[in-house]
Amino acid sequence: MRATRRAFLAALSYSALDAEVEKGKNFPPEWKRYPDPATEFDVYRLTDPAYSSRLPASYNHVVSRRHGFLIFTSDRAGSDQVLRMDLKTGELRQLTQAKELDPASVTLTPDERGFCFFDGPSLRMSILATLRDREIYRVPDGWTRGEGASLTGDGISALFFETRGSSARLRRISTARGAATTMVETPFAGSHPLARPRRAQALYRQSSDALWLVNFDGQQNRKLRTAADGKIASAIWAPNGRTILYLHVPDDKTKLAAIREHTPDENIDKQVSTTSQFAAFQSNGDASVFVGASRNRNSPDILILLRVTRRELTLCEHRSSDPYSVTPVFSPDSQRVYFQSDRDGKPAIYRVQVEKFVEETETEP
């Protein structure tokens, strides 16, 4: 019995040591440049399509402000793990040894010294310099985490939903102490909560049917009056926090998907521009330009849309089997666009330069 116990403890120690050894493992660059068949613009494939590599949710912080590095997830180590890519050399470094990593949940902290992620029910924070991570919070037994997770702009809190049966609750978790607060309870499975920049409010979704806004203290929880007769494909705060930008997909298939803007303080909703059937979109640093992934089967492209002229420019083909997963995002300075596609095999990450078409924007410290 003593021998068995010693063997058991030794096995545990070995497993823990092996997990730590995997952290910090480096991989060589995998970049490949090619001219896009449709536009002849240079496109960089940044990861090997022999492995599945994915960008986190498009509203999360994944590219450093000075464009030094990118964080993403890949299964090249045998399971999904967070990797850091040096955007000057292309070198990769494994940052986690998670058991049940949620790729969409990964996000840099505002100071870019660490990152947060969900490993199964465990919300964790890791320090980039040491790769030491700690559990911030664990979803209680009997509850399941809903879709989407994000940090507030100051990094003080994490936001996500917990569901049980047909009901749900929006949770705000202190990243320093792990203290949990329920902001609001809903009779439906809420998802994708996003803190409002410079305001103690959060936007959240009722599937693809509606957008809701609530104060951090749970007051003034209300459904927003967005465009009727259609679905909401994606929604984000404008960088200044004054308006919500969302992609409206009409029920009438003969009509085009459109980017719309909602001003919650004035209850005003208006159309910004129709699109080439965008499946997903994101704005640049001042919301003057949008990047989108088209779901048009004849033109499966990445496009930028200039707000002032409402004109589109094709950057390159994405040719993904699932245009909703392409997740196009701007770099913080608006000079590059990143997206993912399985056009060459498994999902890989791509980059295209846009400095010739989009003005550089300032990046907040």
pLDDT in tens, 58-104: 999 999 998 899 999 999 989 999 999 999 999 999 999 999 999 99
* Average pLDDT rounded to a whole number, residues 282-302: 96
- Average confidence score pLDDT of the chain: 93
Q: What is the DSSP letter of 300?
A: -
pLDDT in tens, 152-197: 999 999 999 999 998 999 999 999 999 999 999 999 999 999 999 9
Q: Is the pTM of this model over 0.85?
A: yes
Q: What is the spatial order of strands in the sheet that 348-353 belongs to? A: 32-35, 42-45, 348-353, 336-341, 329-330
The predicted structure's pLDDT at residue 17: 39
* Distance from C-alpha of 130 to C-alpha of 124, rounded to nearest angstrom: 14
The predicted structure's pLDDT at residue 321: 96
* Distance from C-alpha of 57 to C-alpha of 160, rounded to nearest angstrom: 13
